[in-house]
Amino acid sequence: QKEVEQDPGPLSVPEGAIVSLNCTYSNSAFQYFMWYRQYSRKGPELLMYTYSSGNKEDGRFTAQVDKSSKYISLFIRDSQPSDSATYLCAMSLGGGSEKLVFGKGTKLTVNP
Amino acid sequence: EAGVTQSPTHLIKTRGQQATLRCSPISGHTSVYWYQQALGLGLQFLLWYDEGEERNRGNFPPRFSGRQFPNYSSELNVNALELEDSALYLCASSLGIGTVNEKLFFGSGTQLSVL
């Protein structure tokens, strides 16, 4: 079983839709959870950062962590064509960024 | 404030040659990380430098090496290039050891093509 699993998609939605992106993981010791957005030919950009379980909201983005189910989600409300990108989840045991484990990314296209 | 900068943007080499990639971290960041992003494989951790020392390396052969300079910039060297080394090489920086430094900030990468 891979440490972090993420459906690669591709996922295609109409503008204005609610998007749900998910990752599952196997290591219950992960404490820090992140979502990165990567546009084509660019480096990943940190979008959301969460410590332990719970929800975090930032504008149209909501990150959820369910440690009991080893499941994290990113919701995008009122999706826009500019949200079209690859979204990568990442998680860490703590103790430094060198221990970050990334999912392979989900490619999202929002159609106008 | 400038982000993480990488050069060159693109690099074309032939098999067996050496490649050198460069990275400048965000001001105030002392840790620099190198990742390889090959098609279909996701982000693979290569190397971590902090305060001029190599702190950790991923599961890559010794022909992948690097260093960090006193100004915290870094370079990645890949010797004896192989076709499968073709990938986007990403540099990231963060606050250093002793901080809660899980937040990584990435550059735009160097696209290395080995022919």
> Could you tell me where the beta strands, DSSP code E, fall in chain B?
5-7, 10-13, 19-24, 31-38, 42-50, 53-57, 64-68, 74-78, 87-94, 105-106, 110-114
Positive or negative, the Cα torsion across B74, B79, B85, B86? positive
- Comparing A62-66, A91-95, B16-20, the range with the smallest average pLDDT is A91-95
In the 8-state DSSP scheme, what is residue B16? T
Say yes or no for a CB contact (<8 Å) between B101 and A96: yes
Which pLDDT does position B98 carry in this prediction? 64
A44 vs B contacts (CB less than 8 Å): 43, 90, 106
- Comparing A12-21, A96-105, B33-42, the range with the smallest average pLDDT is A96-105
Which pLDDT does position A95 carry in this prediction? 63
A94 vs B contacts (CB less than 8 Å): 102
- Comparing A10-24, A56-70, B35-49, the range with the smallest average pLDDT is B35-49
Minimal-distance CA residue of chain B relative to A39? B108
Instruction: Give the number of A-B residue pairs with CB atoms closer than 8 Å.
Output: 61
Which pLDDT does position A62 carry in this prediction? 97
Residues of chain A numbered 14-43 and touching chain B (CB < 8 Å) = 32, 34, 36, 41-43
Tokens of B66: 């690097």
Minimal-distance CA residue of chain A relative to B99? A96
Task: Say whether pLDDT at A85 is over 90.
Answer: yes
Instruction: Report whether the peptide linkage leading into residue A10 is cis, meaning its omega lies within 30 degrees of zero.
Output: yes
| Ranges under pLDDT 50 in chain B | none
Q: pLDDT grade, residue A47 (50/70/90)?
A: very high
Which pLDDT does position B101 carry in this prediction? 63
Counted residue by residue, chain A has a size of: 112
Residue A5 C-alpha, separation from nearest chain B C-alpha, in angstroms: 11
Q: What is the mean pLDDT of residues A67-75?
A: 94
Which pLDDT does position B99 carry in this prediction? 64
Residue A5 CA to residue B107 CA, distance in Å, equals 25
> Chain B contact for A104, CB < 8 A?
yes
Q: pLDDT grade, residue A4 (50/70/90)?
A: very high
